[in-house]
Structure 1
């Protein structure tokens, strides 16, 4: 198919190549299906069972500009379309299939990786500091680089001659109103997302099997139509309960099961030589040694199933109770909050107060309040407060210098003025969490390529996300049962699995990794562009790092994790540029 698309591209393994502003063609490992009639054209690039006949059936939607209709096939893919005048491109709702764009002398260039846009890649240091201090959710339109916007998950990019780039909504969530109504739809979508891939592979497929509900459900469905080689990581810090459930799932499904036992060499934050860098910092970068160890047995298989994203689509946060307050359903919100607190033997008062404050402020108001707190002076690390917040200044905010606080406050005020995100708490939270999960999967792509693993994320497929988000967050937020949507949608899962209430954690591994690598991490942070550029106070971080390495301050570990991988990524970027210059 030859068409005058605007520029686009991707790394090997899944997307689009471009030559100038000419015709789109597939990368060596990509699958492209296309159809056209005259000037009207449509292409799907990536992992989907869509056929050319399916595409031809939607050419009328291209002519009419019904862009969201082009994103409703199973799988994970990019869509590129043209009606002869306008050009449309989108990735998936989660943002695994990213789209970046920038002004070009002949219009707007777009690409699936920022490095293919033909302009210098300059990391946006104030934005990275802001994400560390206030969360990553407030700037979904910004990429990691200066002057390179990103199409946020749930949107597509529409380009027309002589007009600025336009973002169009492609979310297309049709409310189900209750759990029972939406569960059947979700069950069909998720089952198809897993099983169509396994059938298409026609061979043994790999799968993560942590013992949690999400990966276990994927393995059960996959084993129903194919042969699965499941892999599990364990070490001296791993939950014994997780291992017991993983072994029981493997036995139940007759899946081949390989248990990889890690040592001190696999602890987080080691950053072994030869580790890929990628186009953006990603938390999984700290776990590369662990990934290398446990994924080795499934190298080279046609696909590798994961449970990544299951927490986002199957569950909901306490933002659903803020939504009740926003809707004026105060009594119902209070009843649920009290019941939730009692189940966990905690006092409901602080929880209730936090939720009321969130409902009163809204997203924009919370951003302004956070900016004001930064402008007043140093921020102390807030104790973990039960309850949801639009914008909580975490430990990262306490590490900012005066210059850093000023620049982050500016970005927060800008985000508050633009009001590009939902003002309903549950909608904001689920889309923010979805994009974060998608960014994590997207950022792991270079690691997967290095490890010769082809990960798929069935929980993050468009139709799976739509089916899950159609069920109200309040219905997905189980008080008594855990992840009630999964149990209702897949009644064939064994009761001993869906009745599990606990969830494993890598906190112990992270503490051990911080202790093992403390000296090297301290030097990494001190020499990073964030410290050298005067945005973070290395002395403040050093104190937090020492406390966390001793296990004295577990509440800051998540922020330390993000800071460390950001500093490592920035330092690696700088080193790569120096090598290229030589």
Structure 2
């Protein structure tokens, strides 16, 4: 696992990160398992700066970044292309800045001697064996939005930095400071298109640094990345193809590879093992991730793709279109914002168009949106708390429930009354502290990205451990996020065009073939999800049954989970997302019991 850590204190520290390499100029900061080319620094002593990860700044720009550190212009340090961690020291102040999507999360813990910070929450918990916080894990399972409980992490005694904030440590202690606006100044889609194009091109370019490049070649998002990379050199393009999917990803991939120079296309064929939940009977074969990770559910499918990529270029970088949906489009939940702002005519027009696509009525969509339009984030959390204190709801698909700022997932209904009550109390406290944007979509967009970013970080760990290949998700880069989310959700999600922002950005360039820009279909994995639920039901019943760690903590109860698995076995609609979350959390809890040691005794106690 790749991680970074550091110490700030006036007295010595008694631990060192196992295998840690000191960061140049920052004598009490270390990186673990990061290649030297991805750790760069300038300055030393009272003025120092380091970046860890895929940072597009050259050495001169990093040196000039010391002026930004001196001016405490923290946000400017996050505006280089790529995705990376920033560590900056100015006098007695130390700023640790993650990215906007949580691929470089920052957490910390403080005692009387000083403060440890890290990009790994589990590593900081391991300093003294701090246990998992069941209320925080309940929030992870029931709410699916990483920032709801603010600074609460999944472990007791360890705090986390919410997205859009940085960690600032001074002799007075550690605190979080917001560096990113709660909402962006809106930019018209057409005006934003050149900025989106430039940001995405630079994001891909940062990864094309001489390493062999491979890429998913499937939907519109991954195809865009593959074509951008092909402008810079050869790309091994991989399409997962399984007859059970019945989509047209392979058809478009073959046609794209025949049209775009430098794309060498290969197929990763499906098999009886490439289904959801395969391989979970032996979780010791899965790398330990820092948090519950959704990709353990689809590990066999991802392995098939990476096996194909590595077979043609080992030790390279693999581009994925993860988060493309989150930044390039928007769900119809934005209707709530239109209603809130009294844009009734526009809301009605959009509702009619969405209704035609979903074979429902415009009134149905507007009725679903109206409750969220009549409250704010704090009010929504109080409503969720009240619902948690009532008996669990009968299950209906999430798409049929009212739009909500923070939807309660089916997993909330599987928890014991005591856990539901504790989570409700935590939500009420969070509501008192909430500082939220005026628009629902400004909140939910950021939370979607944070969730995808955390999962992608786990996938990166899995890919490095199993294939020695780095996974890169350019749509999660800071500047790509900023450029895309500045476009209002009702323009990104307008029902008349499929991902109009991407089309507007690349239509005049020739980077993408015209038949790709006019594509309106999208592949899905439902068939493989249901196949996995049926074929691996015994394993899932064992994972979430009487011996379940989640069950021991009251985070799931046996009867509703068994009923949901029975629904899946008979092919009925199922709370797939909730099951994925529960299985990933159960696997993670079991892995923590055998996680490798991350610290060693410091035989030479040092001072900061």
Give the TM-score normalised by structure 2.
0.88
User: Partner of 1:175 in structure 2?
Assistant: 185
**Partner of 2:316: helix, strand, or coil?**
coil
- Distance in 2 (CA, whole Å) between partners of 1:497 and 1:357 is 38
Indicate whether 1:186 and 2:196 are aligned.
yes
2:171 aligns with one of 136, 147, 161: 161
Q: Is the 8 A contact 2:459 2:471 kept in 1?
A: no
Instruction: Say which is worse superposed, 340-349 or 22-31, in terms of deviation.
Output: 22-31
Report the 3-state secondary structure (helix = DSSP H, G, I; strand = E; otherwise coil) of the residue aligned with 1:93: coil
The 1:23/1:374 distance shift into structure 2, 3 A limit, reads: closer
Instruction: Show the counterpart of 1:232.
Output: 239
| Residue 507 (1) aligns with residue 526 (2) | yes
Q: Distance in 2 between matches of 1:431 and 1:442?
A: 16
Matching of residues 46-445 of structure 1 within 5 Å: 46-117=53-124, 118-137=127-146, 138-170=148-180, 175=185, 177-198=187-208, 200-201=209-210, 203-209=211-217, 211-254=218-261, 255-272=263-280, 273=282, 274-299=285-310, 300-383=314-397, 384-385=399-400, 388-445=403-460
Match of 2:35 among 29, 38, 43: 29
Partners of 1:130 and 1:90 lie apart in 2 by 24
Match of 1:449 in 2: 464
Bigger mean CA offset, 322-331 vs 425-434: 322-331
Cα pair distance change 1:425/1:469, threshold 3 Å: same
Q: Conserved in 2, the CA contact under 8 Å of 1:324 and 1:333?
A: yes
Once the two structures are TM-superposed, the CA of residue 204 in structure 1 deviates from its matched residue by 3.3
Distance 1:9 1:263 in 2: 45
Query: Is the CA contact 2:151–2:159 (under 8 Å) kept in the aligned structure 1?
Result: yes
**Contact 1:231 1:294 survives alignment (8 Å):** yes
Q: Give the distance between the partners of 2:276 and 2:526, measured in 1 at CA.
A: 10
Matching residue within 30, 42, 49 for 2:49? 42
Deviation string, structure 1 residues 187-214 (Cα, Å, up to 9, x no partner): 011011112422x12x5311111x2100
| 2:371–2:403 CA contact under 8 A, matched in 1 | no
2:606: which partner in 1?
Answer: none
Q: 1:371 to 1:17 in 2, by over 3 A?
A: farther
Q: Distance in 2 between matches of 1:403 and 1:313?
A: 37
Aligned with residue 486 of structure 2, among 447, 470, 485: 470
Q: Residues 577 and 181 (structure 1 numbering): CA distance in 2 closer, same or farther, change over 3 Å? A: closer
Q: Deviations over 1:431-488 (max 9, x none)?
A: 1111111111112232111222211111111111111112222221122111101011
Give, in whole Å, the separation in 2 of the partners of 1:379 and 1:361. Answer: 22
Give the conservation status (yes or no) of the 8 Å contact 1:381–1:394. Answer: no
Measure the CA separation in 2 of the matches of 1:508 and 1:466. Answer: 35
Q: Is the 8 A contact 2:87 2:94 kept in 1?
A: yes
**For residues 10 and 310 of structure 1, do their structure 2 counterparts lie closer, same or farther at Cα, with a shift above 3 Å needed?**
farther
1:489 aligns with 2:505: yes
Moved more, 483-492 or 254-263: 254-263
- Quick one: higher RCO (CA 8 Å, sep 6+), 1 or 2? 2
Please state if 1:547 is matched with 2:567: yes
- More displaced stretch, 173-182 vs 261-270: 173-182
Q: Which whole-Å CA distance do the structure 1 matches of 2:52 and 2:350 have between them?
A: 44
Residue 280 of structure 1, CA deviation = 0.9
Distance, in Å, in 2 between the alignment partners of 1:16 and 1:391 is 40
Partner deviation per Cα, 1:328-351 (whole Å, 9 max, x = no partner) = 323322332223213433111221
How high is the TM-score relative to the length of structure 1?
Answer: 0.92
Residue 108 of structure 2 aligns to a residue whose secondary structure is: strand
Residues in 1 aligned to 2:415 and 2:558: alpha-carbon distance in whole angstroms = 9
Please identify which structure carries the higher strand content: 2
Query: Which secondary structure does the structure 2 equivalent of 1:568 belong to?
Result: helix
CA separation of 1:443/1:488 partners in 2, compared to 1, >3 Å: closer, same or farther?
Answer: same
Q: Give SS of 1:226's match.
A: coil
CA offsets, 1:359-398, max 9 Å, x none? 1022111211121122122322234327632132232122
CA contact (8 A) 2:7 2:115 kept: no
Deviations 1:515-567 (A, max 9, x none): 1111121111012222122332111110111111221123x111111111111
Gaps of 5+ in 1: none
Q: CA deviation at 1:178?
A: 0.3
Match of 2:198, SS state, is helix
| Contact 1:123/1:144 (8 A) holds in 2 | yes
RMSD: 2.6
The structure richer in helix per residue is 1
How big is the shift at 1:171? Answer: 5.1
CA–CA separation in structure 1 for the residues paired with 2:106 and 2:287? 21
* Equivalent pair of 1:232/1:294 in contact (CA under 8 Å): yes
Number of positions where the alignment pairs a residue of Structure 1 with one of Structure 2: 570
Unaligned stretches of 5+ in structure 2?
1-5, 600-608
